[in-house]
Structure 1
């Protein structure tokens, strides 16, 4: 099988599995970089040793563990599903990832952030991200028909998976005000668009830039990102008593372990009492203090 035929077969295998367009782009892009590293040698002549060398090169180049694991997954798929090879995974292990705790905005900081936004479109975007727990790519591709005001929920499609999340009354009123002033008319129904270009939806970069601009105006730390609002959505729901399983569905997580990460961010420990403090008090002899004299 030639390298060109591998590309065609890889696309077919990804399509058969119903993987997202983003996955197609990621896997085929990683395949291109792998072949380029070895001067486009026939991929059928390569195996675990070449994959190891390539992954080590990526680490030496400063790539993060998460990025290197994506390279690893892509190449495992190409060699396994496309070429039908049984690789020795002991030789190409996935790299252990350390996930640091992200910065979280307090509710007072969120109020301050929203109060400094003087642009109706930007305010509608960021209140929707926080109010519904959306990813930046999800709010960028939010459509008018995704807003269900009757059932007070928002339809979200991401990575080939669909879910419903919350639509708050405040969010609905703001979106209606935005609709009234901007009258979005994209042929596919997309809600947010670039200034003066109604047929061009907002890019994630433009949304991120707007977020940092408003954070700066509010004198908030530059460590906050748009995704911080999604973290805050989950953390504040957890602190208000929402079940982890419910939050998992709203966020669109596949595994409950991913959602359980927010247990480390919430202040629910303040509501938990040590069992030592719950023991019934019983009178007894006072403990004597031993003297060294």
Structure 2
């Protein structure tokens, strides 16, 4: 590897440190940005470009074209454009002091498809799927109820610590994207399952002192991938197609069921931790019957 290539990789690490320390970017986002930008560097090195000062807008456009040709989804491409633009802006300010090569790159337009949705009956059947009282079943039951009762993200549930649990008061503290803290209420039934896990399930799983709430069978933090596997396992047990159900489906169901039952969108936005209400509006897919009832109730000439 040339000295210039080494320098560019060091500049990438400096950029990632900037995202972590100054922007507070979440670890999962950091890992995705690292993968995206390492692919970019590999592409540039293969073309004999080792110094960012020699990168042109055409090089970046051709990189994105090659990613699309390889079958990359538009959503992934949009994230890559975002990562690339931030990296290029960082280098133009901190290193090259020249025009930003990525300033005119535009991400692909994304269709705002509706997330997958389960009925309340399906969710109830899924939550009832964990059977038994072994430590792992008690843990799984508590995790699934927590996902649906709070609308928390998978990583937020996996990262819960004992200090963040306020079960008697009926709420949890979670750390979301960008390490932002928020308070989320939790239902009484979920609290009951959580307390049962803490008293009967968690102690046998402890292998060493830890503040992590949900423990694996080795006593460590339950990983996000493991939580996905748990959700898929109980989807099959509940006779729900596993491709229809993952942790984020429960977050969507949490928001949609609240809105369908009359919750105001601002409260749902706050519970989900969305910065923009436009993001929350994705969760407002309401059935035609409810829209008709609203029209009949409020339109002055509906009668």
CA displacement, residues 222-272 of structure 1 (integer Å, 9 cap, x when unaligned): 322221111110001101111101000100111100001112246642431
- For 1:109-120, what aligned pairs fall within 5 Å after superposition? 109-118=122-131, 119-120=137-138
CA displacement, residues 58-101 of structure 1 (integer Å, 9 cap, x when unaligned): 11111111111111111111111222344366742111011322
Size of the alignment, in residue pairs? Answer: 279
TM-score, structure 1 normalization: 0.86
**Is the partner of 1:18 in helix, strand or coil?**
coil
Matched, 1:9 2:14: yes
- For 1:252-271, what aligned pairs fall within 5 Å after superposition? 252-265=273-286, 268-271=290-293
Residue 191 of structure 1: which of 199, 208, 213 is its match?
A: 213
Matched, 1:211 2:231: yes
TM-score, structure 2 normalization: 0.84
Query: Where does residue 58 of structure 1 map in the other structure?
Result: 67
Query: Where does residue 20 of structure 1 map in the other structure?
Result: 26
CA RMSD of aligned residues (A): 2.4
Give 1:26 shift: 3.0
Instruction: Identify unmatched segments of 5+ residues in structure 2.
Output: 132-136
Query: Where does residue 101 of structure 1 map in the other structure?
Result: 114
Query: Where does residue 286 of structure 1 map in the other structure?
Result: none
Give 1:149 shift: 2.5
**Is the partner of 2:284 in helix, strand or coil?**
helix
Matched, 1:67 2:76: yes
Between structure 1 and structure 2, the one with the greater Rg is 1
Question: Is the CA contact (8 Å cut-off) linking 1:9 and 1:82 kept in structure 2?
Answer: no
Query: Where does residue 44 of structure 2 map in the other structure?
Result: 38
Larger fraction in helix:
2
CA gap of 1:194–1:67, structure 2 versus 1, over 3 A, is: same
Tell me which moved more, 213-222 or 269-278: 269-278
Matched, 1:182 2:201: yes
CA gap of 1:123–1:78, structure 2 versus 1, over 3 A, is: same
Residue 56 of structure 2: which of 9, 27, 47 is its match?
A: 47
CA gap of 1:280–1:16, structure 2 versus 1, over 3 A, is: closer
Residue 127 of structure 1: which of 137, 145, 156 is its match?
A: 145
Question: Is the CA contact (8 Å cut-off) linking 2:115 and 2:283 kept in structure 1?
Answer: no
**Is the partner of 1:272 in helix, strand or coil?**
helix
Matched, 1:79 2:78: no
